[in-house]
Amino acid sequence: MSKVLVLGAGLVSGPLVRYLLGVKDFEVTVATRTVEKGAKLVGRAENGVAWAIDVGDETALEALIARHDLSISLLPYVYHPVVARLCVKHGKQMVTTSYVKDAMRALDGEARKKGVVLLNEIGVDPGIDHMSAMQVIDRIRDEGGTLVSFASNTGGLPAPDANDNPLGYKFSWAPRGVVLAGKNPARYLKDGAVVDVPGPELFAHHWPCSIAGFGTLEVYPNRDSLPYIESYGIPTVKSMFRGTLRYPGWCDSLKKIVELGLLDETVRPELARMTFAELTGTLCGGGRKATQDALARRLGLSAESKPVTDLKWLGFLSDEPLPAGANTYLDVLAQRMLEKMQYAPGERDLLIMQHEFIVEYGDRTERITSTLVDYGIPNGDTSMSRLVGLPAAIAARMILQGEIDLTGVQVPMVPAVYEPVLKELASLGVQFRETTTVV
């Protein structure tokens, strides 16, 4: 009997836990601060148990890890190195869906000595993006092709039938991380030249992206794409780009939200006494309630432009008091977006991932497009939760059953991981469609 510990019972945990509960001879413990959340995930499964844990109590955490064969950390990323260190100490395996940081990387040598694998980045992005890209890249290499351009674009969005607000986006979790992306600089390679995008200009760098079998979205750069040239082993590329997909119009509106100053994180006690219109008036420099015309002038746009009407729709010209407990402009924006841009019962989300490879062979140049379009289940699992949780669950099963036999700090960029995981994902309906054209 293999014992699996799942740390965390957040929004992506459900599909992962149910998959593991369905594996014969697996015992699954879901440990979380609020034991009721774990109990809800486990349900009536005889091989599942919910456990209360304060992850800040390292003694209790260590005891729990030591009793299990493998731990899956779905905790905030800052806790992963602690879990990993304790797994190595007790010779236990570990899986996470988060990016490898320096503190995790530092455990590689000791993990190898102990015969422990610390498998990271095995979610959707990171995770499925790595695996699906490397599967094609390795095939290109085996066929003698030279990869000269690679682009990988991913977006989690409301499905078209749920896309009913002007901004074309909905949140099933706290929106701070999404809007704070407007502060991140980005870097990519285009035709042999490095393009640096300052954080405040991020949303000014966007363009249409045609998605096979779906339609046209817009894409903007996703942080620093250059390290993936080495990670993916593709030094021949002259263009390397990783992007984020959104419905058209998102970037123009977010650019103006950034310009207005709504991402500012300075604590401002006076917000407790203000309305939305008074806040917007302050940001417009007038010191009184803002009008639609004043907001348009501040942003250098017409009064009926989409960014202005989007802010009006969000309520930033209303006389409503600001949300209770909002101490910064960012608090106000995030709380308002969460209030106005949530999924209604029965609505579906959508995850789209598309890779484009330009490959030179001796007698031709080809464009290979590999596309995943995956929808959530009405009143069931979201696409995001399935595509984050299932790869981690599959990998955990394969590690415990001996199908993945690696040690040290690993990411799923090697055939020993990506081939079996992608094969099983395809059997569960998560499959890329590939087209090839001669350029």
Catalytic residue selected from 54, 57, 69, 125: 125
Taking the C-alpha atoms of residue 401 and residue 10, their distance in angstroms, rounded to an integer, is 26
What whole-number distance in Å separates Cα of residue 120 and Cα of residue 96? 5
Q: What are phi and psi of 379, to 5 degrees?
A: 60, 20
- 248 is written with which tokens? 């058209």
To the query of whether residue 381 is one of the catalytic residues in this protein, the response is: no
Beta strands at 239-246 and 433-438: parallel, antiparallel or unpaired: unpaired
Residue 241 CB partners (closer than 8 Å, separation 6+):
150, 151, 152, 153, 188, 189, 190, 221, 225
Q: Is it true that the peptide bond before 235 is cis, omega within 30 degrees of 0? A: no
Side-chain-side CA neighbours of residue 356 (13 Å) = 16
User: Tokens 């607000």 identify what position?
Assistant: 165
Contact of 384 with 172, CB cutoff 8 Å: yes
Extended strands (E) in 164-238: 186-190, 193-197, 207-211, 215-221
Pairing of strands 186-190, 207-211: unpaired
Catalytic residues: 125
